């Protein structure tokens, strides 16, 4: 009889050592993985980046989880995306969430990070702008009351000067007629 040949079928993308160690791993049910284990059974994919870039995350969301905020690529830019085989696979994908800079985000949180205009530099610029405008608003508010008080006092000073000047002119006119 002929001996069964070993299949070269692609079954996973891990090294043999990693595959064996994860296959034999035990999971504590109280751990984070143990709590989300029911959500990630079956065909699962993990997409990882060495560093988080909102621009790259936005492109991934456009391809894997299109929505009005992240429209799918056009047929002109990516015609293979609209092939029936690709669409069949994409419709089976479900974005559960993500871990970004050590924090877990749900689907909406991942979309929020992907929607940051200008990436992390854009977020920093928004923060600086917010802090500048807050300081400007506070300065304007504090300056407004001081200006109002100054204008009131200046108006009263002008009024008193006019009264004292007007009183002298009337006295001079009376003195001039009696002579």
Whole-number pLDDT of residue 155: 92
Residue 1 pLDDT grade (very low, low, confident, very high; cuts 50, 70, 90): very low
Residue pair 62/70 in contact by the 8 Å Cβ criterion: yes
**Cα(157)–Cα(163) distance, integer angstroms:** 10
**Cα(142)–Cα(147) distance, integer angstroms:** 9
Whole-number pLDDT of residue 94: 78
**Against a cut of 0.85, is the pTM above it?**
no
Q: What token pair was written down for 75?
A: 């047929």
Whole-number pLDDT of residue 44: 66
Whole-number pLDDT of residue 158: 92
Average pLDDT of the segment spanning 57-62: 85
Q: Name residue, tokens 């204008």.
A: 151
Nearest alpha-carbon partner for 32 in 90, 97, 110: 97
């Amino acid at each position: 009889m002929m001996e069964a040949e070993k299949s070269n079928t692609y079954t996973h993308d891990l090294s043999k050592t990693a595959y064996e160690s994860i296959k034999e791993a035990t999971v504590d049910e109280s751990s984070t993985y143990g709590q989300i284990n029911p959500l990630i059974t079956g065909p699962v994919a993990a997409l990882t980046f060495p560093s988080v870039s909102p621009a790259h995350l936005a492109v991934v969301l456009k391809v894997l989880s299109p929505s009005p905020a992240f429209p799918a690529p056009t047929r002109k830019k990516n015609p293979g995306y609209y092939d029936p085989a690709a669409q069949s696979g994409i419709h089976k994908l479900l974005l559960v969430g993500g871990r970004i800079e050590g924090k877990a985000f749900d689907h909406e949180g991942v979309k929020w990070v992907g929607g940051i205009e200008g990436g992390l530099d854009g977020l920093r610029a928004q923060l600086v702008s917010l802090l500048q405008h807050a300081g400007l608003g506070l300065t304007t508010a504090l300056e407004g009351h001081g200006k109002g008080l100054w204008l009131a006092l200046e108006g009263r000073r002008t009024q008193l000067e006019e009264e004292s000047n007007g009183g002298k002119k009337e006295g001079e006119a009376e003195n001039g007629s009696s002579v």
